[in-house]
């Protein structure tokens, strides 16, 4: 028969999330450096290597207009040094990710020891494997004998853990009161 284990939350690991309830996060991707000039590019601009020319045209009075993207930190460094007559524009790309609301608390479970129903070996919770084959899923695969669902786990809810955590200091005060009265 499969043994059932109750997995408690590690009370010391509970942390209140400052971004609780948030459903959008932003990630800074990379920086794109655009350049523009109305002169011929210096020879250290190598199209297709350290830069990409995206637009090149001539105005009716014969003046060149070049736009492009700088593709190398080294080229940027040279430009800082030589100061060619070029205008730059820095643009940061930001990704916006929509996700499920961030829960109010984050926490870990206690890494208890269990026994596999088949091989009877003692295994730490963190050593259990998980796998998914077609529609079947198991997060309790024995690392020793590969038995799927090698134990049954019931996880403590955060609500319950918070009650336990909050009760702790009260008990200590009660003890202190008793001590004083005695």
Residue closer to Zn ion, measured from CB, 33 or 116: 116
Asked if 142 is part of the footprint of Zn ion (rule: CB under 5 A), the reply reads yes
Residue closer to Zn ion, measured from CB, 14 or 141: 141
Residue closer to Zn ion, measured from CB, 119 or 163: 119
Asked if 149 is part of the footprint of Zn ion (rule: CB under 5 A), the reply reads no
Residue closer to Zn ion, measured from CB, 74 or 131: 131
β-bridge partners, 10? none
Asked if 20 is part of the footprint of Zn ion (rule: CB under 5 A), the reply reads no
Instruction: Please give the full DSSP string across the chain, using - where no structure is assigned.
Output: ---EEEE-B-GGG-EE-TTTT--EEEEEEEEEEEEEESSPPPTT--BTTTEEEEEEEE-TTS-EEEEEEE--HHHHHHHHHH--S-EEEEEEEEEEEE-SPPPSEE--B---EEE-TTT--EEEGGG-EEEEETTEEEEEE-TTT--TT-SEEEEPPHHHHHHHHHHHHHHHHHHHHHHHH-
Measured from the CB of residue 152, what is the shortest distance to Zn ion in angstroms?
14
Residue closer to Zn ion, measured from CB, 82 or 122: 122
Window 99 to 138, contacts with Zn ion (CB under 5 A): 116, 118-119
**CA–CA separation, 54 vs 34, rounded Å?**
10
Residue closer to Zn ion, measured from CB, 69 or 145: 145
Task: Give how far Cα 29 sits from Cα of 24, 70, 93, 95, 122, Å.
Answer: 16, 16, 5, 7, 45
Measured from the CB of residue 145, what is the shortest distance to Zn ion in angstroms?
3
Binding-site member from 141, 145, 153, 162 for Zn ion (CB under 5 A):
145
Measured from the CB of residue 108, what is the shortest distance to Zn ion in angstroms?
24
Q: In the block, which residue shows the tokens 């005060």?
A: 173
Binding-site member from 10, 144, 149, 156 for Zn ion (CB under 5 A):
144
Measured from the CB of residue 146, what is the shortest distance to Zn ion in angstroms?
7
Measured from the CB of residue 141, what is the shortest distance to Zn ion in angstroms?
9
Which positions touch Zn ion (CB under 5 A)? 116, 118-119, 142, 144-145, 147
């Amino acid at each position: 028969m499969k043994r059932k284990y109750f997995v408690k939350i590690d009370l010391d690991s509970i942390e209140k999330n400052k971004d609780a309830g948030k459903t959008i996060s932003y990630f800074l991707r990379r920086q794109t450096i655009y350049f523009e000039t109305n002169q011929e590019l210096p020879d250290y601009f190598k199209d297709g290597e350290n830069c990409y020319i995206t637009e090149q045209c001539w105005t009716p009075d014969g003046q060149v207009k070049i736009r492009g993207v700088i593709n190398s930190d080294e080229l940027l460094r040279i430009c800082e040094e030589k100061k060619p007559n070029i205008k730059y524009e820095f643009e940061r790309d930001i990704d916006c990710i929509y996700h499920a609301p961030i829960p109010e608390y984050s926490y870990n479970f206690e890494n208890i020891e269990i026994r596999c129903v088949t091989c009877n070996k003692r295994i730490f919770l963190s050593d259990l494997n998980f796998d998914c084959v077609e529609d079947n899923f198991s997060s309790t695969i024995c690392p020793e004998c590969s038995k799927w669902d090698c134990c049954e786990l019931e996880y403590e809810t955060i609500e319950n853990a918070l009650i336990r955590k909050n009760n702790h200091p009260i008990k200590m005060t009660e003890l202190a009161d008793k001590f004083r009265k005695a």
